Structure 1
Amino acid sequence: MLETVLSLPSFRETFEPAPPSSPPPRGPVAVAILGHGELRRPCATQGMALQLFRGESGAMLEIPNGWLSISLPLSGRVRVRSEQSEWPLEPGRCLVWDRSLFLDAASGGAWLCLCGPEEAWHRACRNARAAAELFPVEDACPPGVAERLAQLAREARGGTENAEHASHLLQMVCLDLHAAQHALRQLLPRCPGRTRRRKRWAMLRLLRVRHAIASGRGARLRMNALAGRISCSSGHLSRVYLHVFGETPADFAFRLRLEHAMALATRTDMAFCDVAESAGFDNQSSFCRAFKKRYGMTPGAARALRAATRGESTVATLAS
């Protein structure tokens, strides 16, 4: 069974109290701005606050394993690397992570990253459970999170005078992300395990598989390699994944490939043979058949419809 092979999660469901001997930090968050070409490797120190980094174009940040981090682009895409995966973090997305992470704004983008070890999160959060229950996933950035993190950076620079306000902003960021993951928590009863803790461990492992598929984009799915990430057979992984998410890993990968193809077909002028190759199809014919079966129209019709809709929107804007 899946739950029998799961190791301890990289962050616990509840944080342990900070040692009483730790001197209280000036505020809940310390802020640093990283300039072009600067690489920062933060490390834990006794009594430390959470760390909020703003990376400008060319800045790099390497977060230690086991730290909980919240990262989001401010402009442009950010290159992200963790363990065996590397992928672009697009604008409008937010990454909650609990393992080692490397952020690189070499492409000209800028980013914000709030991170720290368990002790720092426990000390800074009024509602530590909201942070502890966050799943490590990439998703659309909830409304207000980017603005609150930017405001948090300004408040944290004020030191002790604004510590209370900074704590409130931090709590709101965690609560917003916690609420955005409500649908995932609703799936916990479907996960294998007799206790909620075991079910959470199972969900964490399934999310690792889900992320590996999503970050692979057009790459061919290798079930044995995915199953190896959580130490189970490919057949067992498919059954559990289907039971929890309502689709197999292969179905999920195929759906993502077609969604990627739809974005390329409607938002770019890329030739359809190149779209097919980018989406991982062997040839344009098989791509067009799958596309039409999924969306009820050919890639050419989808592109024409998008162009017509865009034209109507432009006319309406000029007429108003």
Structure 2
Amino acid sequence: MEQKQWSDRGQQIRLEQSEPTGRSSCVGVSRLGSVQVSGDMFSVWIQLRGASWVEAKEGKFRLRPGQWIALERDSKPLIQTDRHGVCIGLTLSAEVLRGMVPLADSTLYAGRGRIPRRDGRIALKLWRQAAARLADQQEKSDAAALRPILLHMVAIQQELDAYIQRCPGRSRSRKRQVFGRLQRARLYLEGNCDRVVRISELAELTSFSSWYFSRTFYTLYEESPQAAAARMRLERAAELLGSTSMMIGEVAAASGFDNCCSFARAFRARFGVSASRYRIALSHSRTDSAKSPGRARKAEILTGT
């Protein structure tokens, strides 16, 4: 069975991973291609060029070059690239994830982050090698075929280890379980920055009580779920101000604010300037970066970029 699939030039692929063997696979998406993961598979995606849009149970995300996202087994993500986009991914069975723990004393967690360019090139090389091993079926198991790329991804997520140590639980296994649930809740906040997310939603997602979830979230990330949600919504607003021509009121609505007044107060409190001035300064920063580095730096300081 071929375990490498590539969606290119508008092609659509649907991954049905419902067979008893639950085989893992290497997946590529490029140039307006799209992939729908319908089965019960953990997945990891790395953006190499252009941009991709990801829609999953956790919400909607945009991947830019040098960014990765990992999604839980029931997320069923849809990944679509822009006309210049190249994105590589892994769909991993439960057996492969379990096999990682004795191998690396760790596993992969839901979340998103950045990957250095050098690590991105290494990931692409290891991904190609893993795809060849899966296709040849020379390895005894999917875990053996995927071992190099999985260890590389674990290393990229190594910064998460400090959070795991803060998790409640007597055993490392319990700490991992709690952390995995909290990571998914944090990703859910980021994927729903266009609205106000209730604590009850996050508690239900993690199967914790609202009180236990709020306390554990603060212990791990040193900010409350409400503060994290507000910060992410304002960061989304700042991104929209810089990347779109939307009016200020439209940006406020797209960031989950009921009215422009509350948005204006929150934005100024966060960034120290009004939304309109932030947009102007960001525009000047981009326009003048080549002509006058000093002036561009002044604008960067103003906008906090």
TM above 0.5, one fold?
A: yes
Relative contact order (alpha carbons < 8 A, sep ≥ 6): 1 or 2 greater? 1
User: What's 1:70 paired with?
Assistant: 44
Residues 79 and 88 of structure 1 are in contact (CA less than 8 Å); yes or no, is this contact kept in structure 2?
yes
Q: 2:110 aligns with which of 136, 139, 161?
A: 136
Counterpart CA distance in 2 for 1:230 and 1:40 is 26
User: What's 2:5 paired with?
Assistant: 32
Task: Establish whether residue 295 from structure 1 lines up as the match of residue 268 from structure 2.
Answer: no
Counterpart CA distance in 2 for 1:266 and 1:139 is 20
Task: Establish whether residue 96 from structure 1 lines up as the match of residue 70 from structure 2.
Answer: yes
Counterpart CA distance in 2 for 1:267 and 1:222 is 28
Unaligned runs of 5+ in 2: 294-305
Alpha-carbon displacement from aligned partner over 1:151-176 (angstroms, at most 9, x marks no partner)? 3455444877x99xxx9995554344
Q: Tell me the amino acid that sits aligned with residue 114 of structure 1.
A: L
Q: Where does 1:1-320 land on structure 2 (aligned, <5 Å)?
A: 30-35=3-8, 36-43=11-18, 50-56=24-30, 57-62=32-37, 64-65=39-40, 67-73=41-47, 74-82=49-57, 85-92=58-65, 93-100=67-74, 101-105=76-80, 109-119=85-95, 128-129=103-104, 132-152=106-126, 154-155=128-129, 156-157=131-132, 173-316=149-292
Task: Report the alpha carbon displacement of residue 241 of structure 1 after superposing the two structures with TM.
Answer: 1.1
Residues 276 and 287 of structure 1 are in contact (CA less than 8 Å); yes or no, is this contact kept in structure 2?
yes
Counterpart CA distance in 2 for 1:121 and 1:191 is 20
Task: Report the alpha carbon displacement of residue 69 of structure 1 after superposing the two structures with TM.
Answer: 2.4
Q: Tell me the amino acid that sits aligned with residue 16 of structure 2.
A: R
Residues 72 and 89 of structure 1 are in contact (CA less than 8 Å); yes or no, is this contact kept in structure 2?
no
Q: Quick check: 37-46 or 252-261, which moved more?
A: 37-46
Structure having the higher Rg: 1
Task: Report the alpha carbon displacement of residue 246 of structure 1 after superposing the two structures with TM.
Answer: 0.5
In structure 2, relative to structure 1, the CA distance for the partners of 1:104 and 1:135 (3 Å cut) is closer
Secondary structure of the corresponding residue to residue 12 of structure 2: coil
Counterpart CA distance in 2 for 1:288 and 1:309 is 22
Task: Report the alpha carbon displacement of residue 198 of structure 1 after superposing the two structures with TM.
Answer: 1.3
Residues 252 and 259 of structure 2 are in contact (CA less than 8 Å); yes or no, is this contact kept in structure 1?
yes
Residues 142 and 177 of structure 1 are in contact (CA less than 8 Å); yes or no, is this contact kept in structure 2?
no
User: What's 1:13 paired with?
Assistant: none
In structure 2, relative to structure 1, the CA distance for the partners of 1:116 and 1:225 (3 Å cut) is closer
Q: How many residues align?
A: 281
Residues 52 and 112 of structure 1 are in contact (CA less than 8 Å); yes or no, is this contact kept in structure 2?
yes
Secondary structure of the corresponding residue to residue 36 of structure 2: strand
Task: Report the alpha carbon displacement of residue 255 of structure 1 after superposing the two structures with TM.
Answer: 0.3
Task: Report the alpha carbon displacement of residue 254 of structure 1 after superposing the two structures with TM.
Answer: 0.2
In structure 2, relative to structure 1, the CA distance for the partners of 1:61 and 1:138 (3 Å cut) is same
Secondary structure of the corresponding residue to residue 178 of structure 1: helix
Secondary structure of the corresponding residue to residue 290 of structure 2: helix
Q: Tell me the amino acid that sits aligned with residue 102 of structure 1.
A: P
Alpha-carbon displacement from aligned partner over 1:171-224 (angstroms, at most 9, x marks no partner)? 554344323323321022321111211111111121122122111112112112
User: What's 2:297 paired with?
Assistant: none
Counterpart CA distance in 2 for 1:169 and 1:307 is 47
Secondary structure of the corresponding residue to residue 187 of structure 1: helix
Alpha-carbon displacement from aligned partner over 1:257-299 (angstroms, at most 9, x marks no partner)? 1111111223333211111111111211211111111111111
Output the TM-score relative to the length of structure 2.
0.77
Alpha-carbon displacement from aligned partner over 1:51-91 (angstroms, at most 9, x marks no partner)? 212234343232532x3422134433233323xx3413422
Q: Tell me the amino acid that sits aligned with residue 183 of structure 2.
A: L
In structure 2, relative to structure 1, the CA distance for the partners of 1:195 and 1:120 (3 Å cut) is closer
In structure 2, relative to structure 1, the CA distance for the partners of 1:221 and 1:102 (3 Å cut) is closer
Secondary structure of the corresponding residue to residue 38 of structure 1: strand
Residues 47 and 120 of structure 1 are in contact (CA less than 8 Å); yes or no, is this contact kept in structure 2?
no
In structure 2, relative to structure 1, the CA distance for the partners of 1:121 and 1:278 (3 Å cut) is closer
Q: Tell me the amino acid that sits aligned with residue 115 of structure 2.
A: C
Counterpart CA distance in 2 for 1:114 and 1:103 is 13
Counterpart CA distance in 2 for 1:291 and 1:59 is 35
Counterpart CA distance in 1 for 2:208 and 2:17 is 35
Output the TM-score relative to the length of structure 1.
0.74
